């Protein structure tokens, strides 16, 4: 993902380095990030405006015009019950974004608390991080599926399960950056001044963990959209009549022989949502972590023989990749 | 070496313990009585009691866990109420398709990832590098099951090159096996290779700066010999990590793919168990896959020590 932003020319790179101190403008200068952000906004707007954009209700059954290919009347065609696929896709995107946003927020909050406290209190660290490691060791889809099987399929249960599954990834990131901040001299100074632990933790250490947290949160967003779709596709996520993207794909699978539009359009909606979030997350990382960016820019000119500096940042970026 | 292995095993104990507790506690997420939920509203009281007894729900919580984990360690994962057979037998019966799918997909992934990653590292900013950038973005943004749906749409429905779904075991001939498995394995393999290729590139870049590369260049070795024989070999460790790590994810991800292609593997079995609320199967399978996942990672760790003697001494 990091490398995807590399496409900008040298000219652009020089211009960004001049306005280095202004994160927002750095973000604006990152073309893929802006495209990702705009795409995300468009998707959100489209899904919120779906009652006005789509001429049909997502659940409106019209048996006469079932399995019709895309036309002027039904842009994305109709499904086996004659429901409008365009309207259903918009609604599915809305549900996906809702789930993604909620899961990102909840697991970020939980991960922040767990990460901070386990970075600061040694004892707690042993217990909390062991539990986090245990949860983290499960493949995400698998654990979420097992929990959904127990809780029963509905939207709020899905949000709970996904939040539990994704919290460890956030907690790990927060903990590792909190550990770095904790060793800084100014924290020692705060302690010497007699500041309370809560004060140090939340007013002085916490801000230092925010940027990796936000970046990780955006990747959790993208990832939970994927897992939600997979679970709903399998019938272990959002229950059937609700038009979530996974359900639409699952219905499309049944009619894949004749009705390609039932698979293609919800599929593209899913890809667009995830892509937008990933691009956006990339941009956020560049914006919030200027250090990584300048290093990468330098490394871009590197060739096979010279330039050793890019090893480190490649490693860093690949490490964050793996963790996301 | 023995000490190294023992230390690695010991480090796994807390993780596996926590995992088993998580899996065990899953049935306590069920709102209400698990036996009643499993059997539905129409079940009579004596059947429910029988199932409760079979599931061990009448014991205190700690004793339940003790019994369950004690049996699990001995390879007894309980009995499926719906399949009327031990869970471990059911797992054994469904293992082969998933394993062959996973291996085939991994093979495809490595086949794509290594040349692409190597070219991208050797020629930074070149065509392979640019391809890799686009490719890795595709890999994170397109989930495997969606890719396979698209493949079915194009290669099976439209072009009719492959069957839409089905499965033929390997021992009935490689031809029919490949015919059924190619699309599922390709879609998982592509998604996986995108991550692997990126790691190959990063790891290659690191080794390319080592002194011995310069020596090899100046003594006139062919570039391909240097790259594939010397550099790639030294760059293997991080590559092994992703390949090993993705293997567990792959077995889990196969759940969705197997449903799409109607492959009678572990994934499909799990999905059916979820539909039937067959909790013994769900718990047993999740624990099994999780343990396999951990074991593969351990094997990779041990493989490092074989590849790189320095690790053993740390």
A183-209 confidence digits (pLDDT tens):
889 988 998 999 898 899 899 899 888
What local confidence, expressed as pLDDT, does residue A110 receive? 96
pLDDT in tens, B37-48: 777 777 778 888
State whether residue A169 sits within 8 Å of chain B by CB: no
What local confidence, expressed as pLDDT, does residue A158 receive? 92
Find the DSSP H helices in chain B: 2-25, 34-39, 45-55, 61-73, 87-122, 127-141, 144-151, 174-208, 211-218, 223-224, 232-234, 236-261, 266-276, 279-307, 309-313
Closest CA to A166 of A124, A146, A130, A138: A138
Question: Which residues 236-295 in chain A show a CB within 8 A of chain B?
Answer: 236, 249, 252-253, 256-257, 260, 263-264, 267, 270-271, 274-275, 278
* B82 or B104, higher pLDDT: B104
Query: Number of Cβ pairs closer than 8 Å across A and B?
Result: 182
Delimit the domains of chain A by residue range: 56-309
State whether residue A222 sits within 8 Å of chain B by CB: yes
Closest residue to B209, CB basis, from A152, A235, A308 = A308
Distance from CA of B3 to the nearest CA of A (A): 23
State whether residue A314 sits within 8 Å of chain B by CB: yes
CB A76 within 8 A of CB A198: no
* B25 or A6, higher pLDDT: B25
Distance from CA of B277 to the nearest CA of A (A): 6
**Residues of chain A below pLDDT 50:** 1-11, 13-20, 293-324
- In chain B, ranges of CATH 1.10.3720.10 domains: 87-312
Closest residue to A304, CB basis, from B122, B255, B294 = B122
Q: What are phi and psi of A10, to 5 degrees?
A: -65, -35
What local confidence, expressed as pLDDT, does residue B307 receive? 74
Question: Which residues 38-77 in chain A show a CB within 8 A of chain B?
Answer: none
Q: How many CB atoms lie within 10 A of CB B75?
A: 8
Query: Which residues on neighbouring strands pair with residue A78, listed in sequence order?
Result: A84
Chain A residue numbers touching B209 (CB-CB < 8 A): 307-308, 311
ipTM score above 0.90 = no
Structure tokens at A267: 């599929």
Chain A residue numbers touching B273 (CB-CB < 8 A): 149
Mean pLDDT of B156-161: 81
What local confidence, expressed as pLDDT, does residue B65 receive? 85
What local confidence, expressed as pLDDT, does residue A322 receive? 35
State whether residue B262 sits within 8 Å of chain A by CB: no
**CA distances for A193 relative to A47, A199, A200, B113, angstroms:** 52, 12, 11, 55
- Region of residue B160 (phi > 0: left; psi between -120 and 50: alpha; otherwise: beta): left
Report pTM. 0.82
List CB contacts of A168: < 8 A, sequence separation 6 or more: A111, A132, A133, A135, A136
Distance from CA of A35 to the nearest CA of B (A): 14
The alpha carbon torsion through A32, A37, A39, A41 (nearest 10 deg) reads -170
Fold of the domain built from segment(s) B87-312:
MetI-like fold (1.10.3720)
Alpha-carbon gap, residue B123 to B129, rounded angstroms:
7
* Interior angle at CA B132, CA B130 and CA B134, nearest 5: 75
Tell me the CATH class for A56-309.
mainly alpha
Asked if pLDDT for residue B178 goes beyond 70, the answer is: yes
State whether residue B57 sits within 8 Å of chain A by CB: no
Place of tokens 């209190």: A121
**Element (H or E) spanning A35, and its range?**
helix A31-48
Structure tokens at B244: 């090993």
State whether B242 and A260 contact (CB < 8 Å). Answer: no
Chain B residue numbers touching A234 (CB-CB < 8 A): 255-256, 259, 271, 274
State whether A253 and B198 contact (CB < 8 Å). Answer: no
State whether A260 and B253 contact (CB < 8 Å). Answer: no
What local confidence, expressed as pLDDT, does residue A67 receive? 74
Closest residue to A311, CB basis, from B19, B122, B206 = B206
pLDDT in tens, B206-243: 888 888 888 888 888 888 888 888 888 888 888 888 88
Query: Which residues on neighbouring strands pair with residue A84, listed in sequence order?
Result: A78
């Amino acid at each position: 993902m990091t490398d995807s932003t590399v496409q900008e020319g040298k000219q652009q790179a020089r211009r960004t380095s001049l306005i280095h101190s202004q994160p927002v403008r750095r973000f604006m200068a990152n073309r893929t990030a802006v495209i990702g952000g705009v795409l995300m906004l468009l998707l959100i707007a489209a899904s919120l405006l779906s009652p006005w954009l789509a001429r049909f209700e997502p659940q409106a059954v019209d048996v006469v015009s079932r399995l019709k290919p895309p036309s002027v009347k039904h842009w994305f065609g109709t499904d086996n019950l004659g429901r409008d696929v365009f309207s259903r896709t918009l609604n599915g995107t809305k549900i996906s974004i809702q789930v993604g946003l909620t899961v990102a927020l909840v697991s970020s909050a939980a991960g922040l608390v767990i990460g901070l406290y386990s970075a600061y209190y040694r004892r707690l660290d042993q217990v909390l991080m062991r539990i986090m490691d245990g949860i983290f060791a499960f493949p995400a889809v698998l654990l979420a599926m097992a929990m959904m099987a127990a809780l029963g399929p509905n939207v709020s249960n899905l949000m709970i399960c996904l939040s539990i599954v994704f919290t460890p990834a956030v907690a790990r990131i927060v903990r590792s950056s909190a550990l770095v901040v904790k060793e800084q001299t100014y924290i020692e100074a705060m302690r010497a001044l007699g500041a309370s632990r809560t004060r140090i933790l939340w007013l002085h250490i916490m801000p230092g963990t925010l940027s990796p947290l936000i970046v990780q949160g955006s990747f959790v967003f993208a990832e939970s959209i994927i897992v939600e779709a997979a679970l709903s596709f399998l019938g272990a996520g959002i229950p059937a009549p609700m038009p979530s993207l996974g359900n639409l794909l699952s219905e499309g699978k049944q009619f894949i022989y004749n009705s390609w539009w039932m698979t293609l359009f919800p599929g593209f909606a899913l890809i667009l949502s995830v892509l937008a979030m990933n691009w956006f997350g990339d941009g956020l990382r560049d914006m919030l972590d200027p250090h990584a960016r300048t290093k990468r820019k330098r490394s871009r000119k590197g060739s096979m023989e010279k330039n050793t500096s890019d090893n480190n940042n490649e490693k860093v970026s690949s490490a964050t990749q793996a963790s996301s | 070496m023995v000490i190294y292995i023992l230390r690695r095993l010991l480090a796994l104990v807390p993780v596996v313990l926590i995992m088993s507790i998580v899996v065990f506690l899953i049935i306590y997420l069920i709102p209400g009585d698990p036996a009643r939920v499993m059997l539905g509203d129409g079940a009579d009281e004596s059947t429910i009691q029988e199932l409760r007894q079979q599931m061990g729900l009448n014991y205190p919580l700690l004793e339940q866990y003790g019994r369950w984990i004690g049996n699990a360690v001995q390879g007894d994962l309980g009995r499926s109420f719906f399949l009327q057979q031990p869970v471990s037998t059911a797992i054994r019966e469904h293992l082969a398709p998933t394993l062959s799918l996973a291996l085939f997909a991994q093979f495809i992934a490595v086949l794509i990832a290594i040349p692409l990653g190597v070219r991208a590292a050797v020629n930074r900013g070149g065509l392979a590098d640019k391809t890799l950038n686009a490719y890795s973005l595709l890999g994170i943004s397109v989930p495997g099951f969606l890719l396979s749906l698209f493949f079915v749409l194009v290669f099976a429905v439209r072009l009719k090159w492959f069957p839409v779904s089905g499965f033929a075991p390997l021992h009935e001939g490689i031809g029919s096996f490949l015919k059924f498995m190619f699309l599922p394995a390709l879609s998982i393999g592509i998604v996986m290779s995108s991550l692997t290729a990126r790691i190959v590139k990063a790891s290659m870049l690191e080794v390319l700066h080592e002194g011995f590369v310069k020596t090899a260049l100046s003594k006139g070795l062919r570039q391909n010999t240097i790259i594939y024989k010397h550099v790639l070999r030294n760059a293997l460790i991080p590559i092994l990590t992703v390949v090993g790590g993705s293997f567990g994810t792959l077995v889990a991800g196969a759940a969705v793919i197997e449903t799409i292609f109607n492959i009678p593997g572990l994934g499909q079995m799990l999905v059916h168990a979820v539909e039937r609320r067959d909790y013994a199967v769900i718990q047993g399978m999740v624990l099994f896959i999780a343990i396999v996942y951990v074991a593969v990672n351990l094997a990779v760790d041990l493989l490092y020590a074989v590849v790189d003697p320095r690790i053993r001494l740390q």
